[in-house]
Amino acid sequence: MIERITALLLSSGLILRGGFDFDRGEDAPAKAVLLVGHGGADYWPHFQEWQARNVGVADPLDAWSLIVIDRVADAVGARAVYPSDRPYLPFQQWAMRAEGLKPSPLGVLMHPEFGLWHAYRGALLFDRALVLGELSKARHLCDECREKPCLTGCPVGAFDVDGYDVGACRGHVLGEGVVCRRQGCIARNACPFDAYRYPAEVQALHMDALLAG
């Protein structure tokens, strides 16, 4: 099953991002879940090719992800769900459970390989257990970072140890925050674990989605 799904996702640049069987008696929407997403921006050229043929589609990245993941779900007898579905499903909790991750000071989950440069685009729910192996706790790169430049990089101090000031962030990006709007969040880009950093055009698309939300 894992190999088949991996092969089906290959042509999209998306990857499996871990999964688990829900515990017996747990209030869950299925028996098992596999998360789908990306590390870095391998998906970008595949998405751009699709977008060029589908100009004007609302929420294009979400629309493309739905098409890709729905096809995989149909092929393997799963049900596809998405972070934008309502009522909202606990994708953040599923992700931490599936890959053993913890949040960074910015709130974005820190991945031991991808750093802050990854995302979850959807999930496959199964009505049967998949008997997945035990997961070991992932290395948390933030524990190795003494300076924490992410907490001092924001021009309006939207991030601190107490959380994220969404209003201050949006106000800056919509106003004088041209760098954030065109090249991505300055605080996120300050993270030293940047081997998979998104190109500026990818970050700009995600920033547009944030502002539209």
pLDDT single digits (tens) 135-175:
777 899 999 999 999 999 999 999 987 889 989 999 999 99
Distance CA 97, CA 91 (A): 10
Q: Specify whether the CB–CB gap between 141 and 115 falls below 8 A.
A: yes
SS3 73: helix
Burial label for 175, CB within 10 Å (0-12, 13-18, 19+), is exposed
Distance CA 192, CA 180 (A): 17
| Region of poorest pLDDT, from 51-55, 187-191, 204-208 | 204-208
Distance CA 161, CA 139 (A): 21
Domain ranges (residues) in the chain: 2-140, 142-212
